[in-house]
């Protein structure tokens, strides 16, 4: 039993180490944390244009949390083209994130509902 626990501890340590090395090969974790905090402040104060410019400039270091915030902000600010552009740039591991998937559904459902409403309104007037 002790042997199995030691193997599991070694496995967890190696996993954490590999994730850490993967995240630090190109960029520092502190820069993505600073980016998240900056974007939270800008989105909170509804300065979407400035926040989107920062996301565009730093998309390489955006975490899934940052991307999720940006997609939600696109839905709130009704900037659907920017949301679609963010969706197109997503790496495959981010597309599989359930939070990002939910935000994308929210983003795409709003213009779709609006389109259906316009079509139904036009049919009712004919």
Check whether 126 has a pLDDT greater than 60.
no
The proportion of the chain whose per-residue pLDDT surpasses 70, expressed as a percent, equals 73
Q: What pLDDT is attached to residue 12?
A: 65
Q: Domain-by-domain residue ranges, the chain?
A: 27-125
- 49 with 40: CB under 8 angstroms? no
pTM over 0.85: no
Q: What pLDDT is attached to residue 61?
A: 83
Q: What is the mean pLDDT of residues 63-92?
A: 89
Highest mean pLDDT among 20-24, 68-72, 113-117, 122-126: 68-72
Q: What pLDDT is attached to residue 68?
A: 92
Q: What is the mean pLDDT of the chain?
A: 78
Q: What pLDDT is attached to residue 67?
A: 92
CA distance 24 to 2: 33
Q: What is the mean pLDDT of residues 45-55?
A: 88
* H-only helix segments in the chain: 2-23, 29-44, 48-57, 64-77, 80-89, 92-95, 98-125
Note the CATH number of domain 27-125: 1.25.40
């Amino acid at each position: 039993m002790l042997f199995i626990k030691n193997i599991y501890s070694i496995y967890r340590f190696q996993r954490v180490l590999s994730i850490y090395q993967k995240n630090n090969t190109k960029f520092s974790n502190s820069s993505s944390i600073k980016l998240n905090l900056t974007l939270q402040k800008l989105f909170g104060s509804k300065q979407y244009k400035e926040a989107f410019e920062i996301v565009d400039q730093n998309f390489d270091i955006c975490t899934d949390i940052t991307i999720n915030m940006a997609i939600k902000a696109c839905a709130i600010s009704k900037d659907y083209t920017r949301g679609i552009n963010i969706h197109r740039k997503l790496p495959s591991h981010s597309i599989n994130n359930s939070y990002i998937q939910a935000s994308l559904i929210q983003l795409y459902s709003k213009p779709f509902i609006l389109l259906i409403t316009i079509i139904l309104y036009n049919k009712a007037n004919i």
